[in-house]
Structure 1
C-alpha cells in the first residue's frame, strides 16, 4: 500500500515534468517505436483531463486508507484506537462519496492549468437503455462525459474502496485473534455478516451495546460478528 501511495504521489506532483521528459524522449529518440510511444503517452494520457482527475482521486483514497492500514499492521496496535480509526475511514469514504468529486475536480483543473491544457473531457458517452413505463419516447439517455466519469469511475471506485477497506479490517482482526493456527473468526464470513448487518440493524440500535444485544439474538446467524462486537 505504501508503495502505491508514493507512486501515485510522484505522478501527481511531477506530472508536468514527466510529460516534458516524454516529449524530450520523443524528440531525441531515433527509434520510431520509442518516439511514437513516448509522444502518445504524453499527449493522450498525461494531457488527458480524465487522467489528471483520476490521479487526484486515487491519491486521496490511497493516502487515507494507507494511514489506517499502517497502524493496523503495527506491533503496538491498540484495539480501541483501531476501532476509532476504522470508523473514521468509513466516515471519510462516505463524505468523500458526497463531495469529493467536486473537490477533486478543482484540484485537477489547477493541475491542468499549470500544464497548459484544457480542463475538459474529450468526448461524450451515450448510454442506451430500454424505455421504462411512463417515460417519453426518447430511447436514448445521454450522459455528459463528466457525469459518466462521476458515476462509472468515481462512485465505482469509492464503493469498491469501502468494501476493500472493510475486508482488509476483517482480515486484520482474524489475524489478531489467531493463536497457533486456530482462529476465532473467519474474515470472509465476518465481511459477509457485517455487510448484512449494515442493512438489517434496527434503527433504534444507536450504541455499541445495542448492536451486541441484537447480535446476541442473531448469534446463530451472525456468529463472527457477535464475537467481534463482544470483543
Structure 2
C-alpha cells in the first residue's frame, strides 16, 4: 500500500498552470500586485489569477489576507535590511538603518502605508528590532530606556518614511502640483494676514523637499546627547 506524500511535498506540487507555490512566491506576487494596482489588489481572487491557481490553494500557506499582509510587510523589512552590519559607531549605524527603511518604503510606495504600522512578528522584524535595541544598549542605555527610545526612533523613521512613500505614490500630476504650491500659491499670500510666511517666502521652496534626514538627525542628536556611554567619556 503506497504511503501518503508528506504535507510539504503535496503543497509544492505544480498547479494546473505549472506554478509551484511557496510562501515566498505568493508574498512576492502580492507585493507586485499591490505595486501595480494598490492595496485593493490584496485578495485571494487576484492572487489566484496572477499565480494561475485556485484561490483556495493560498490558504495552505496563509491563514487569511491579513496573514499575507504581515508577510509582505516583513518582506519589505528584509529587503531593506539585507546585508546591513552595524559598525562601531552606534549613531551612524542607526542613521544607516533609518535610510534603509526609507529606501525600502520608496521601493514599494503603495505597500508602505499598509506596512508601516503593523507588527509582523516574523524573522526580518525580529532581526531589525534586535539590531536597533542592541545599538542603544551598546550606547549605555539601560534596558527599559533602550526599549522606549528605540520605539521613539523607529516610530519617527516609519512615520516619515511612510509619508515620503505616500507622496511618491501620488500620480505625477498631483505630486508636481503639490510641490509647485510652495513656489506659486504660497508666494501670493498677503503680508498683513501671513507676516511669517511673507518673511520667509524666498525659502519656502525647501518645503517641497523631504524632511526625513533632518528629522532623523535631530532625533539622533538628542539620543547622542543623552547616551550614558558618551557622557561617561566626557
Judge same fold: TM > 0.5, yes or no.
no
TM-score, structure 1 normalization: 0.33
TM-score, structure 2 normalization: 0.33
